[in-house]
Amino acid sequence: MLNIEQTTKSKLSVLDLSPIAEGSNAGQSFKHTLELAQHAEKLGYHRYWLAEHHGMPGIASAATSILIGHVASGTTSIRVGAGGIMLPNHSPLVIAEQFGTLESLFPNRIDLGVGRAPGSDQLTARALRRNLDSDAEAFPQDVMELLDYFSAEPKRPVKAVPGTGLEIPVWILGSSLFGAQLAAALGLPFAFASHFAPAYMLQAIEIYRETFRPSQYLEQPYLMLGFNVFAADTEEEATFLASSMQQAFVNLRSGNPTRLPPPVFDLWNQLGGAERAILNQVLSCSAIGDGEKVLSEILAFIARTGADELMITSQIFNHQARLKSYEITANAYQNILAG
């Protein structure tokens, strides 16, 4: 039996990769991103995050800080941030200055989630001028340096201007146990990428909660989990819409990343056994169906994990269908107590 009162305390937010669909371009993706953010704000979603990826033909959010500014300038109240910035790609000072600028422009609305993956393949990572032998290992030190730049009394002689003294929430992102351990040790909120890498989710949750140390940033653990949602008027339509993301993921895992392909009917029966196994594993944290089914699966997921917040991502080819998916999800979630 689900504890409705407990599960509906969890917040719903949006993760947008600013997908580039087949036949479209980055400019159109940015227009759709802003429209989705404005839509999410009206629907009551708590925050809107964008993610850093490089060299991916189907993802337009490479210049993440710029796109965050675009979204924040076109909205008024929803929190906007990075889910995340891949910190090994950057100098912590540069990120502190970028997000200090964003926070100065849009006070009390900016989040900064950081991860240690490159967000790209190794060739692209080298083009970003990364030192692949040491940067990932330096991630904890980079996070500490970043936090110091935001503090009111930095220990380092170099100051982030703007940045110093600004209360910008810093999150640790992860898809393994490392991020959970680091977030717990530093007393920071933790976001786990269960929407595409759920294998270590339950173990990471346990480690984060059991080893969390209260800090000046957070008194108790705060957990966000990624979750895929494809909502439509019927389960058949939702299954059809989900096929775009499923095709894109199979292409990515096969070493052939593509733009977001159009949906196809009966995709499952067109896939081989290995492809089905990939999708069953990596997309296990998903809900596909009408409003009632999606709501039931969201509540069951929250009950199983105790997530404080779900970061909903919906990689849907048709923009209007994507807007509707988020609308169906928000309405179902918000109306549950009245129903």
* pLDDT tens, position by position, 257-278: 999 999 999 999 999 999 999 9
pLDDT grade for 36, boundaries at 50, 70 and 90: very high
Average pLDDT of the residues in 100-121? 90
Supply the pLDDT for residue 6: 46
Contact criterion met (CB below 8 Å) for 136 and 87: no
* pLDDT tens, position by position, 134-174: 555 789 999 999 999 999 999 999 999 999 999 999 999 99
Give percent above pLDDT 90 in the chain.
Answer: 85
**In this model, does residue 5 exceed pLDDT 50?**
no
**In this model, does residue 337 exceed pLDDT 90?**
no
- Look-up: residue for tokens 């912590």? 92
Higher pLDDT, 315 or 117: 315
Q: What angle do CA 180, 182, 186 make, to 5 degrees?
A: 120
Of 70-84, 85-99, 133-147, minimum mean pLDDT range: 133-147
What domains sit in the chain, N to C, each tagged with a CATH number? 4-334 (3.20.20.30)
Higher pLDDT, 132 or 158: 158
